[in-house]
Every structure is written in C-alpha cells, then in structure tokens.
Amino acid sequence: MNPQQLLVDLVEQFCTYQRKQRGKTEGGVTTYRWNLDQFLIFVRKHEGRPARVGDLTRETIQAWMDRMAETDLALGTMRVRQSTLSSLCTWLVKRETLADNPVARLDRPRYERTPPRQVPGPELMDALIEAAKRRKRPRDIAIFLILRYTGMRRESVASLRVRHLDRDWGLRGVYTKGGKTRDIPLPSVVMKFLQTYIERVLPREVGAITADTPIFWSRWPGRRGVRRLEPLHGKNIWRLCKTYGRQIGVPELKPHDLRHGVAMEMLEQHHDVEQVRALLGHTRVDTTQIYATIRPAQLKRAVSFYEDKASRMLSD
C-alpha cells in the first residue's frame, strides 16, 4: 500500500476495469467517473493538493458526505456517490492497494423510493412516433418505436447492433444496466420496420453492414463543412426526445419518462407487477412496485361508483 499514490490514475484504471472486464456501458462508466471526480475535487479544495490513496479514510469521506449534506443535495444523489466510492475502495482492497473499505464503517443515506414525476400516457407516447413520421425520419421513428414498446433505457437503445435483432422474437442479448444482457420482445410489425430500416436506410448512411454495425448513427457538420458520422450515444437520444417533446407540446419530456409510461400502461392492461418487472429488467420486484401506486386520475375513476349513491342520498 502506497498512501502517496495519486487517486486520479487509479480512478481511470477502475473505470477501464468496469468497462472492459465488467461490461458496464459507456454511460454507466461516465457516471462512475463523474461521481468519483466529485470526491477528488473535494479533497483538492479541502487539502489544497491532488487526492491520494491516503485520503481514503473514514474521516475524509465523512467530511465529504457532510459537505454534500450542507449543500442540500438529494439523499439519492448522496447515496449513489457514496456507493460509487465504496465500489472503488472495494476494488482497491482486492488489489491490495487499500487495507480495508472505509465506507463500510459509515452510515448510508436513507433510501427514498418516490413515484415518477412524469408518466406519459399512451396517446402522448404515440404522438412522438407520429411527429417523427411527419418529419419522415426513419431513424427517429425506429428509436421511438423501441422506446415506446419496450421501455428500454436510452443507453441500451444506443448500444444496439445489427446482431441484436431476431425477426421472430425482438431483441436478443441487449446490453442493459449493470453490464448484463437481456432478451426483449417487440411486436412483429415493429421488427418488420426495423428490418426494413437496416436493409434500406442504414446502408445509405454507413455503407457495408456487418453483424456488429451499430443500428443508430448521428451525423452533424464538422470542420471545413465536412459532415461527421459516429454511432449514436444515449445523450443524443435524450436531446432527440427533448426536440420532439417541444414539437408535441411537452418540452420537459425525457427518454426515461417513456420507460415509466410503458410500465404503467402494461400494469393497467395486465395488473401483474411481475410481468412489468420482467419487461423492464428489474432485479427486484419491489423496484417495480412503485408503479402499483394508484395515480389521482385512476383513484377518481375507482370511486366513481359512489356518484349514484351520493346523488340518491342527497336527492331525498
């Protein structure tokens, strides 16, 4: 153990490990790096020098947590940052760079599970697809069809390759949160649209198609008027959703809102939380239980049978 070793280099090695050996998505690794950078920034401000391995102590980490609390950060944010730092410490312990994990001796911020703030209904989700159809954008239509009928996260959609398509099922071996892979069903008409998109549209964008060719690409003006082309990222899908959200009058709409909308629609149709859990890929069913909370509009319909009884009582 070398307490003088700089943490910034170890953070980069940790992120590379998560991406290359644990199969974490690029978006997930970016989040890890961001969270760990917050600790490095805190130590630099607190100690006046770059963070070192010797700064991974219970006292320093607790001071960091106290500072986050003073700035009124949400409990969920504090919990995620502490958890990321704990993962780094565990990784360093396994490599005998750290004697033990100091985060294990700290209290964890309370976990608060709150209902989604925005749950779009079927009409709004369909409106996104209609907007893309009016603009005659096959790529955008394909992206919104997948989001609309699977509830997939934007990073998973961005990571799709040609080999993931199975015309008789949907999507096979899709990379999801935590570096896992899942098979995700899609309606046959959606699969037919995706196959047509890959056969007729994609070659015009990228040329020869192989099994590992990304399905979705982004093109924008580069230097000297040369248009650049590269695979789509999750952030591009976020911007795309915001653009179309403004067109349909919902500028605050985000890709993850569609995930909530799909979950709620499926629950209302089948009344089975386990089926919703399977579609969304939640490891624990209690994560899915949040969608079982009755929304105000549903509650109003649930008590509508009282209308006639109340009318009869008050008419006497």
Per-residue pLDDT of the chain (316 residues), as tens digits, is: 688 999 999 999 999 999 888 888 777 888 899 999 999 999 999 999 999 999 999 999 999 999 999 998 888 889 999 999 999 999 999 999 999 999 999 998 876 666 667 788 889 999 999 999 999 999 999 999 999 999 999 999 999 999 999 988 899 999 888 778 889 999 999 999 999 999 999 999 899 999 999 999 998 776 666 678 899 999 999 999 999 999 999 999 999 999 998 988 888 887 777 787 878 887 776 676 766 664 555 545 555 666 676 677 676 5
Smallest Cα–Cα separation from 196: which of 219, 165, 169, 172?
165
Q: What share of the chain is helix, strand, coil (3-state, %, to 5)?
A: 65, 10, 30
Do the beta carbons of residue 287 and residue 115 sit within 8 Å?
A: no
Cα–Cα dist 103/108, whole Å: 9
Q: How far is CA 49 from CA 3, 52, 72, 286, 307, in A?
A: 14, 9, 26, 43, 69
The domain defined by 7-95 folds into: DNA polymerase; domain 1 (1.10.150)
Topology of domain 122-314, CATH: hpI Integrase; Chain A (1.10.443)
Residue ranges of the domains in the chain?
Answer: 7-95, 122-314
User: Under 8 Å CB-to-CB from 157, ≥6 apart: which residues?
Assistant: 143, 146, 147, 216, 234, 237, 255
